Amino acid sequence: MVENIKKEQATTHKLGIYLWIWGLLFVLSFFSYMVDWLQFEGLLRWTLILTFMFLKAGLIMAFFMHLFWERYTLVNVLLWPMTAIATFVGLMVAESKYTVFTRFFYFVLGS
C-alpha cells in the first residue's frame, strides 16, 4: 500500500502547476500576438518572436510533457538532436542570404 502511494506521487502533480503553465502560455501567446498588432519591425520583432516562441515551447515540453521530471538520459537524448537541427536551420538561413545576394547581383542587376 505504501509502495502504491509512493508510485502515484511520482507520476501525478499538483493541479496548480498545470493551471500556472496554462495561464503563462495564454499570456505569452497574447504577447506574441501583440508583436504583430503593434507592428514592431526588424531586429526587435524577430527577437521578441523567438523569445516568446522558445519560452512557450520550453514550458510545454518541461511541464505539460513532463520532461522536467523525466529521466535525465531521456531528456538529453531528446534535446541534443533538437539543438543540432536548430543549428542546421540557422546555418541554412544564413546560406539563403547568400543565395538571394547572388540572385540580385547576377540576375537583377546584371540583366
Task: Give the residues lining the site for another protein (CB under 8 A).
Answer: 3, 6-8, 10-13, 15, 18, 21-22, 25-26, 29, 32-33, 35-37, 45-46, 49-50, 52-53, 56-57, 60-61, 63-66, 70-74, 76-78, 81-82, 85-86, 88-89, 92-93, 95-97, 99-100, 103-104, 107-108
SS3 13: coil
CB 111 → another protein: shortest distance, Å? 11
Angle between helices 42-59 and 15-37 (to 10 degrees): 160
**How many C-beta neighbours within 10 Å does residue 52 have?**
19
Residue 40 beta carbon to another protein: minimum distance, rounded to whole angstroms: 10
**How near is the Cβ of 34 to another protein at its closest, in Å?**
10
Chain centroid, CA 63 distance in Å: 13
* Residue 71 φ/ψ region, left for φ over 0, alpha for ψ in the -120 to 50 degree band, beta for the rest: beta
C-alpha cell at 68: 522536467
Q: How far is the CB of 71 from another protein (least distance, A)?
A: 5
Cell of 8: 502515484
Nearer to another protein, 1 or 96 (CB): 96
